[in-house]
Amino acid sequence: MNRIYLDNASTTFLRNEVIDSMIKIIKKFYGNPSSPHWFGRKSRFIIEKSRKLIANSINAHPSEIIFTSSGTEANNLILRSSIISLKIKRIITSPLEHLSVIKTILDIYKNYKINIEFIKLKKKGEIDIENLEKKLKNNSSTTLVSLMYANNEIGNILDVKNIGFICKKYNSYFHSDTVQYMGHYKINMKKLPFHFASASAHKFYGPVGIGFAFIRNSIKLKSIITGGNQEKNIRAGTENIYGIVGLANALNLANINLNFEKKKIEKLKKYCIFSLKKEIPEVIFNGLCNDNNKSIYTILNIFIPIKNDLIYFYLDLKGISISNGSSCFTSSKISHVIKHISNIKKLNNMTPIRISFSIFNKKKDIDFLILHLKKLIFFLKKNKY
């Protein structure tokens, strides 16, 4: 069966060069990078070389890169550690954050009695910047603002420069979950206003099980995992050398090929929007995803004009892999993001679909998806499902 993969915001295929770089390391025996002998030093050398490559890719200092097992762990590390190490008294966030941020913040609230405030949103899920400024102005307790750079479901891109400017004005820390943005846009940490950022290799054609936290050099965080002294005492546990090599190569290649690959995927997304409007005119675009300047070019999120929770399953039977939103929601549950930005009428009468693109997709994948979506909507409406 011909299989079409359009769920790249969940995870991407690996580049061949990334696989090769990892196999090279796996095939050789390297020691524990904390061991002082020859085998250990060899591992340490490879890890530090990879850290430099990552730092160069985002114009950061190598010491600002702390390896973690995932984007989830990077977000946990930054949020949980900063309330202890920086004595944060309040966290301001948005209801549209990834669950690794929202659930962590709610857990922190339960256990540490830190104040949590959710920013107001505008109609399409945009952050109300004036509301953020009002919150910061009215309360001077030590605050961490946690807002994602690009939303993983509706693709909205945050105006990080403006948010950073306001955070600086009110002496607040700024964490941004950059998991969906990293590897798809140029990142210059010297110019960006983040104190903290998080990344995950499997979102940019690297392996699962490896990510990193960017922690600006001026800030000292403690490990939330107790154990050895690895990663400057910020993340205990023997480093995942294979993952780190894969991550470094994936980010480096993403950067090298960025302009060409961005153009290619942008074209696919535009074609998908055009074809959807033409073939299924009742489709509604969620958030800012059909605004090419305000949304990430890898994500499109639509409501299709029929309510049926089995749509994803039917499409899967035709060989099409798409999702209802974040992959954190197994089955057909509607995500908190879509619920938050949609009215009851839409939720009761329409089904949300996230289509997410990669360098491996082709125009014919979009044609195949839209053909089957159209057929499915026609069939379900006719048979009153």
Residue 96 or 253 with smaller CB distance to ligand PLP: 96
String of b and e for 43-72 (b: at least 16 CB within 10 Å)? bbebbeebbebbbebbebeeebbbbbbbbb
Inter-CA distances, 269 with 30, 325, 356, 359, Å:
43, 17, 9, 12
Q: How far is the CB of 221 from ligand PLP (least distance, A)?
A: 18
Per-residue binding string, ligand PLP, 309-348, x by CB under 6 A, is ------------------x---------------------
Residue of 139, 120, 136 whose CA lies nearest to 128: 120
Stretch touching ligand PLP by CB under 6 A, among 69-77, 117-125, 137-145, 165-173: 69-77
> Does residue 68 interact with ligand PLP by CB under 6 A?
no
From candidates 155, 183, 211, 325, binder to ligand PLP by CB under 6 A: 211
Sheet containing strand 90-93, edge to edge, reads: 65-68, 211-215, 196-200, 173-177, 143-146, 90-93, 115-118
Give SS3 for 184.
Answer: coil
> Does residue 200 interact with ligand PLP by CB under 6 A?
yes
Distance CA 224, CA 234 (A): 8
> Does residue 287 interact with ligand PLP by CB under 6 A?
no
29 exposure class (CB count in 10 Å sphere: 0-12, 13-18, 19+): exposed
From candidates 82, 94, 100, 249, binder to ligand PLP by CB under 6 A: 100
Catalytic residue among 167, 272, 289, 328: 328
Residue 55 or 210 with smaller CB distance to ligand PLP: 210
Report 70-89 residues binding ligand PLP (CB under 6 A).
70-72
> In sequence order, what DSSP letters do the residues of 31-42 get, joined into one string?
--TT--SHHHHH
The token pair that represents 235 in the structure block = 């993340």
Residue 100 or 223 with smaller CB distance to ligand PLP: 100
From candidates 179, 272, 276, 338, binder to ligand PLP by CB under 6 A: 179
Stretch touching ligand PLP by CB under 6 A, among 79-87, 133-141, 176-184, 229-237: 176-184
Q: How far is the CB of 66 from ligand PLP (least distance, A)?
A: 14
Q: How far is the CB of 247 from ligand PLP (least distance, A)?
A: 11
Give SS3 for 119.
Answer: coil
Q: How far is the CB of 79 from ligand PLP (least distance, A)?
A: 12
Residue 9 or 241 with smaller CB distance to ligand PLP: 9
> Does residue 8 interact with ligand PLP by CB under 6 A?
no
Residue 9 or 167 with smaller CB distance to ligand PLP: 9
> Does residue 230 interact with ligand PLP by CB under 6 A?
no
Residue of 155, 171, 174 whose CA lies nearest to 163: 174
Torsion from C-alpha of 130, 133, 137, 142, nearest 10 degrees:
150
Give SS3 for 311.
Answer: helix
3-state helix, strand, coil in the chain (%, to 5): 45, 15, 40
> Does residue 57 interact with ligand PLP by CB under 6 A?
no
User: Residue for token digits 């490559």?
Assistant: 53
Q: How far is the CB of 340 from ligand PLP (least distance, A)?
A: 15
Residues in the chain: 385
**Annotated catalytic residue 272:** no
Active site members = 328
Contact positions toward ligand PLP, by CB under 6 A?
70-72, 98, 100, 148, 152, 177, 179-180, 200, 211, 327
